[in-house]
Structure 1
Amino acid sequence: MNDNIAADPNWWPHRFDPTKGHVHFIRATRDEHRSAVFLTDEYLKGAAAPRAVGLQMAAGAGPRAPLHFIFHSAYCCSTLLARAFDQPGISMGLKEPQILNDISGWRTRGAQPQELANVTAAVLATLSRPFGEGEAVVVKPSNLVNGLAGLMLHVNPASKAVFLYAPLKDFLGSIARKGMWGRHWVRDLMVKQMREGLINLGLQGEDYLRLTDLQAAAVGWLAQHALFVQLVAKFGAERLKTLDSTLLMKAPEVAMRQLLDHYGVAMDGETLTTLVEGPVFTKHSKNDDDFDAEAREAERRAGAALHADEIEKVSTWAEAVAKNAGVPLTLPGALC
């Protein structure tokens, strides 16, 4: 029975228990994937009734599909992009699987490197089960998992990836618009990045305590850029591309065509046009309200105007920090 569960894409590999080496599967149909904002307890009703399967049995059950990644720096239309790959018969996009967060947390608690690599490879195998015949699988991990991006590319050498990011000022504006919770989130991110050794920007210990909230946001953004500069150099632009979210929204058909080619996913022109003119690009990815490129730009401008002074000062500070640390604001390996 357990191997049947592991082979069935309607059973979702939701959590990993490192103490027992089990994957916890829950029932989640394609429609439930589509309606879930993220693949976490909060949005998956089956999360309360998991079924445990041994990791190796889970990894070895059923066929495998080509597996690719959307890494991102948050608040940059990454959920929209993952939704764009929910195309029956072509591909399936997975939005921030909780199981990858589990592995990332296990890593920070002291998982041994070789065991971590073996588990990561096995978990990626469970995520690569096709939802339909001939489909590819495109995974968008949480940006909290970015510290594992290099390992995921290493243990899955056939995978390709894109790193999606918003320009610094747009990112700062997004955080400012979200008020206290956005500002709290960036500080949590910075603490996690410090634990993972991802921040090397020339600041010292107490300097981080003196930062404003938007300076902390800028540090997190710069740390992710520094990481992906290194990863592009390591894996090459033929495997890891970078994409400015403003280009994605300005010319979605061009960006999607380039990304499909990068992943080796076939989509005919009519299907692609229908996709970029349809709800994925004209509805809000979190609540399905009308929200096309024009509305996004209007929201961005309104937020930028409200917090203009703070954003401008932090942006100038961050550019100086980036220059001193050798972190480019425009990344190599551009998709388009």
Structure 2
Amino acid sequence: MTVALDNAAFLPFKLDPIGQRVLWLRLDETQRREAAFLDDRAIPKNAEGGWAPLETLLSRTADTTAPAHAIFHIGHCGSTLLSRLLDTWPDVQGLREPLPLRTLADAWPTLDEPTSRLSPYQADDALRALWSRWSQALAPHARSIVKATSSCNGLIAPLMAQQPHLRVVLMDMPLRPYLATLLKSPSSVFDAASAAGERLRYLHGHGIGTHLSLHQIPLHRQCALGWLAEQMRFDALAKGRYGDRVLRLDFEALLDDPARELHRVAAHFGLDTSRVDEAVASPAWGRYSKAQSHGYGRDDRAHDLALSMQTHGADIEDAEGWIAALAVT
């Protein structure tokens, strides 16, 4: 394992804070490109790798002048599509939703509490070491772009503080289509509700909804609450000390004018903007981004959203009104 871990083909695939260990797995260029999620669904048959002490990660922070750039987002807003479109650039290696980042994001809010499995120093070192390894793109690529899970947005500021050359795209969409997207899928509602605790904590920290507890809030409002929290977080990042390294991207704008918005993203990430037309013509537009074997285009999405707005119209209107009142309290 010692020799293997010096090979960038091995990724830190899982982080186990209880056992203080890391699962390292070999994933080749094709396996990385095909994976919509770098979690159990991406583990190949006869996988090569194994568990090793946490120190094997913390001791492997390499200096790099080209850290992986990142896509952070609110969830179910086209971020996987954007990541696959960026795969059009031959020098880009896309890494989608690596599991250790989610583990760190779950741990981060409680690092100063006695129940934390990781010390603040371990967590900070782990984030730095993970990003260092994910920045080591496999040939023929020269640059990695990591698409995080939507529950990882609490790590954006710490990560940007660590990585002065990191650039980030923050992706979202307006509240109404966001709610319609979530409410048409129970699994999407579950994803949003799973992140609602951290998002409510963020709102409380900024004086919003301090009278609220999560158990009091119905699920459709939890979805809207998460949207509000991320709007506030993204706005603060874009206007803050790292604002020159942040690009806001609206999924609806990307659908309306792909060439314009992809040009903005490519320029932000320092990619060759002459390849935007190739990305606009990518077959990824007509496929379900998380399962490329399924056809799903812009017309399919528009139909599904219209149906969802009819089916869940009362909940959408209720959540919109509730958020409007909450935002001004």
- The question of a shared fold, defined as TM-score above 0.5 by the shorter chain, is answered with yes
Aligned-residue RMSD, C-alpha:
2.6
CA distance in 2, matches of 1:204, 1:117: 29
CA distance in 1, matches of 2:32, 2:69: 18
AA partner of residue 68 (structure 1): H
Match of 1:308 in 2: 313
Q: Which residue of 274, 277, 281 maps to 1:273?
A: 277
**Contact 1:36/1:44 (8 A) holds in 2:** no
CA distance in 1, matches of 2:49, 2:295: 34
Match of 1:285 in 2: 289
**Contact 1:65/1:130 (8 A) holds in 2:** no
**Contact 1:64/1:125 (8 A) holds in 2:** no
CA pair 7-43 structure 1, distance change in 2 beyond 3 A = closer
AA partner of residue 5 (structure 2): I
How far is 1:302 from its partner? Answer: 1.6
CA distance in 2, matches of 1:7, 1:220: 39
1:236-276 C-alpha deviation (Å, 9 max, x unpaired): 4320111111011111121111111001122534xx32222
**Contact 2:203/2:229 (8 A) holds in 1:** no
**Contact 2:169/2:246 (8 A) holds in 1:** yes
How far is 1:162 from its partner? Answer: 1.1
CA distance in 2, matches of 1:267, 1:226: 30
How far is 1:35 from its partner? Answer: 2.4
AA partner of residue 13 (structure 1): P
Q: Which residue of 50, 58, 61 maps to 1:59?
A: 61
Matches within 5 A, 1:184-223: 184-194=190-200, 200=206, 202-205=208-211, 208-223=214-229
CA pair 192-70 structure 1, distance change in 2 beyond 3 A = same
How far is 1:315 from its partner? Answer: 0.9
Q: Does residue 181 of structure 2 align to residue 174 of structure 1?
A: yes
How far is 1:65 from its partner? Answer: 3.9
CA distance in 2, matches of 1:242, 1:230: 11
CA distance in 2, matches of 1:101, 1:27: 20
CA pair 168-52 structure 1, distance change in 2 beyond 3 A = same
Helix, strand or coil: the match of 2:14?
strand
How far is 1:195 from its partner? Answer: 5.5
CA pair 206-292 structure 1, distance change in 2 beyond 3 A = closer
AA partner of residue 247 (structure 1): A
**Contact 1:88/1:132 (8 A) holds in 2:** no
CA distance in 2, matches of 1:198, 1:257: 37
CA distance in 2, matches of 1:253, 1:144: 29
Q: Does residue 130 of structure 2 align to residue 130 of structure 1?
A: no
More divergent stretch after superposition (281-290 vs 92-101): 281-290
More divergent stretch after superposition (39-48 vs 295-304): 39-48
Point out where structure 1 has 5 or more consecutive residues left out of the alignment: 325-336
Match of 1:248 in 2: 254
Match of 2:114 in 1: none
**Contact 1:3/1:57 (8 A) holds in 2:** no
CA distance in 1, matches of 2:150, 2:204: 13
CA distance in 1, matches of 2:65, 2:139: 11
1:62-100 C-alpha deviation (Å, 9 max, x unpaired): x77442110100010011111122246321111110111
How far is 1:3 from its partner? Answer: 4.5
Q: Does residue 50 of structure 2 align to residue 50 of structure 1?
A: yes
Match of 1:85 in 2: 86
AA partner of residue 308 (structure 2): G
Q: Which residue of 314, 320, 328 maps to 1:323?
A: 328
Give the aligned length.
319
Point out where structure 2 has 5 or more consecutive residues left out of the alignment: 112-117
1:149-180 C-alpha deviation (Å, 9 max, x unpaired): 1001110110010110021111111121013x
CA pair 285-59 structure 1, distance change in 2 beyond 3 A = same
Q: Does residue 185 of structure 2 align to residue 183 of structure 1?
A: no
Match of 1:41 in 2: 40
**Contact 2:200/2:226 (8 A) holds in 1:** no
What TM-score do the two structures reach when normalised by structure 1?
A: 0.85
How far is 1:317 from its partner? Answer: 1.9
What TM-score do the two structures reach when normalised by structure 2?
A: 0.87
Q: Does residue 239 of structure 2 align to residue 233 of structure 1?
A: yes
Match of 2:150 in 1: 143
